[in-house]
Amino acid sequence: MRNSILYTLLCSLILICSLASCSETETYAEQKDKEFKAIQSFLDRDIVIRGEDGDIICNVGKIEAISEEQFIQQDSTTDLERNQYVVFNNSGVYMQIVRKGTGEKLEKGKTARIICRFIEFNILGDSLQLRNDVNFWHPTPDIIKISNNWGTYTANFDTEINGGGAMYAAYGSTSVPSGWLIPFPYIRIGRQDTPDEGIAKVRLIVPHSEGQTSASSNVYPCFYEITFQKMRD
């Protein structure tokens, strides 16, 4: 399993370097146009994301994009039967709330540590790029320390507790992609205390401007499926 994970990280780095090499011959405007077209194609592709052994990790499906206005009218929910994602015009992030979670929303003026399990799919590269929902990363999950600064959310990957997780190992940065923070006004961040409860789970399409450092530098969008669980005090 360890060799498999290291191989995946190596492949991701090769892909990133390849994208960077291609970007040297393109203008930024051309790169953004390519990214936009890749996202639009992704919305209509009915894609299934598979792991190295061919197992289905995530059935994304064809996506129905809705406006922020419709999202609010639907009590800040996305219709899962219609596979709806709300698109936030200011950021370009698409979000589907699979589960709002248990517990409470992060209160204004409060800070919390959140365990994140995720898959990261490079939309432009059409490949699974990174994941931490496997046994290899269970001892060292990605932990974010997030603060609600009276409606503005800030966060960093916490490396003090376990030395950092997959995102820090892959990209060498404690900066949390700003696209990951989009869901927090709408989800609850608790722990699963009974079998009937489920922690918060979202799906995101994150353009390079809201993404991790490599995506930002090389202008490619990523799809994420993420769960958020509050750490014990």
* Residue 143 burial class via C-beta count within 10 angstroms: exposed 0-12, middle 13-18, buried 19 and up: buried
Neighbouring residues of 80: CB distance < 8 A, sequence distance ≥ 6: 96, 98
Q: What number of helices (H) and strands (E) belong to the chain?
A: 5, 11
pLDDT of amino acid 15: 55
pLDDT at res. 104: 95
Tell me which of 195 and 22 has the higher pLDDT: 195
Predicted confidence band of residue 196 (pLDDT cuts 50, 70, 90): confident
Model pLDDT for residues 200-222, shown as the tens digit of each residue: 999 999 999 999 999 999 999 99
- Percent of the chain at pLDDT > 70 equals 89
* Per-residue pLDDT, 1: 47
**Using one digit for the tens of pLDDT, what is the confidence trace for 114-125?**
999 999 999 999
Residue 21 has pLDDT above 90, yes or no: no
83 CB-near residues (< 8 Å, 6+ apart):
61, 62, 63, 64, 96
Per residue in 147-176, pLDDT tens?
Answer: 999 899 999 999 999 999 999 999 999 999
pLDDT of residue 11: 52
2-230 is a CATH 3.10.50.40 domain: yes
Q: How confident is the model at residue 44 (pLDDT cuts 50, 70, 90)?
A: very high
pLDDT band at 193 (very low <50, low <70, confident <90, very high): confident
Tell me the pTM. Answer: 0.88
**189 vs 198: CA distance, rounded Å:** 10
pLDDT at residue 12 is higher than 90: no
Predicted local confidence at residue 232, as pLDDT: 86
